[in-house]
Amino acid sequence: AAAKRKHGAPAARPKKRAKTAPSAPEADAKPSPDEYSIPPPVSQGKWKNKERVLIFSSRGINFRTRHLMQDLRTLMPHSKADTKMDRKDQLFVINEVCEMKNCNKCIFFEAKKKQDLYMWLSNTPQGPSAKFLVQNVHTLAELKMTGNCLRGSRPLLSFDPTFDKEPHYALLKELFIQIFSTPQYHPKSQPFVDHVFTFTVTDERIWFRNYQIIEEDAALVEIGPRFVLNLIKIFQGSFGGPTLYENPHYQSPNMHRRQIRLSVAAKFREKQQVKEVQKIKKKGSKVLIEEDPTEVVFETPAEEKPMEIQLVKPESKPIVKDKKKPRKIQRKKQKKLFRAEA
């Protein structure tokens, strides 16, 4: 029976019944063969390498650069994005941006004249940093390759033997390893290795390619993106500082375009000179060949005719009158008379 409530006193609430937990199986109990046990996670290690890469660009880049930047963010799960930087800002401001984003590596794309693309790879904030001219860019969507890899998987890095021979290439190799390699046990990465980043030195340039490893026969199929890096300078600091190395084989895009214009102008000038020479040849007097004295040897003199002097005046030719002329005169007179009568 419900307890009677006193006047003016709060009603007493009934106590809640405690839910009884189901009886837990014993720890030593083994699962039956019909039941399935959930395996433990694959990556049980600790995430120690806290490398984070900031990938962003300046204002004024074209669509191809934007797609390349997006492809790199997709392939690198340890990357972060940021808004585009204004052209008027100095490059050392990027160190502060990386500090705010908690990133210790940076890939910065700098566009100039809406046609030249430069890439900065930097270890912030101490350095070193390298500046490259990016050429022959092909993105994932453009290539339409047959390869495919798991998103967020860890890549293998393959380097040309040239990277171990020269000191500036050895420095770039270490910079590439720290930037492009996905840290082990990264939260966003997958515990698989199914693609390879290759860095090859050819024609004084670094060629970047991305290949998928096929499980059946360990063959390589290109995925993309692909681009070529032409080294300009290596600096001691981050985005500046003393120059450690300068590429003597580098030619700026402005100089390259200038040489193309000069070659075209030289061809045009050569054509004009040829035309002027032809005009002078046409206008110039013909060179007279000297007379050969042997030409007259076989000539026979013509017989000289005696001159005839006419003493009598020649007869005048008879004047033939036009028979039709009187008729024309008569017709004209008749017409005049007819007009006068009218």
- Above 60 in pLDDT, residue 27? no
Query: Taking the CA atoms of the chain, what radius of gyration do you get in angstroms?
Result: 49
Classify the C-alpha dihedral 214-220-224-225 as positive or negative: positive
User: What mean pLDDT comes out for the span 165-180?
Assistant: 93
**Euclidean distance between CA atoms 66 and 56, whole angstroms:** 9
Q: Is residue 99 part of a domain?
A: yes
Contacts of 115 (CB under 8 A, 6+ apart): 62, 253
Q: Model confidence over 213-238: pLDDT tens digits?
A: 888 788 888 888 999 999 999 999 99
Q: Is residue 328 part of a domain?
A: no
User: What mean pLDDT comes out for the span 198-202?
Assistant: 94
Q: Which is it for strands 240-246 and 226-237: parallel, antiparallel or unpaired? A: antiparallel
Q: Model confidence over 241-271: pLDDT tens digits?
A: 999 999 999 999 999 999 999 999 999 999 9
In degrees rounded to 5, what are phi and psi of residue 240?
150, -175
Q: Quote the domain boundaries for residue 232.
A: 53-256
Q: Is residue 215 part of a domain?
A: yes
User: What mean pLDDT comes out for the span 314-329?
Assistant: 74
3 CB-contact burial (10 Å; exposed 0-12 / middle 13-18 / buried 19+)? exposed
Contact 105/56 with Cβ under 8 angstroms?
A: no
Q: Which is it for strands 195-202 and 129-138: parallel, antiparallel or unpaired? A: unpaired
In Å, what is the CA distance from 178 to each residue of 48, 64, 115, 238?
A: 14, 25, 29, 15
Q: Is residue 72 part of a domain?
A: yes
Alpha helix stretches (DSSP H) within the chain: 63-75, 93-100, 140-143, 167-180, 253-283, 324-341
- Say which CATH number the domain at 148 has: 3.40.50.10480
Q: Is residue 115 part of a domain?
A: yes
Domain count, the chain: 1
Token pair recorded at residue 279: 């005009």
Q: Is residue 66 part of a domain?
A: yes
Contact 218/110 with Cβ under 8 angstroms?
A: no
CA nearest neighbour of 64 among 236, 227, 244, 307? 227
**Euclidean distance between CA atoms 188 and 193, whole angstroms:** 14
**Euclidean distance between CA atoms 276 and 282, whole angstroms:** 10
Q: Is residue 332 part of a domain?
A: no
pLDDT of residue 148: 80
Q: Is residue 335 part of a domain?
A: no
H or E segment and range at residue 82: none
33 CB-contact burial (10 Å; exposed 0-12 / middle 13-18 / buried 19+)? exposed
Q: Given pLDDT bands bounded at 50, 70 and 90, which one contains residue 320?
A: low
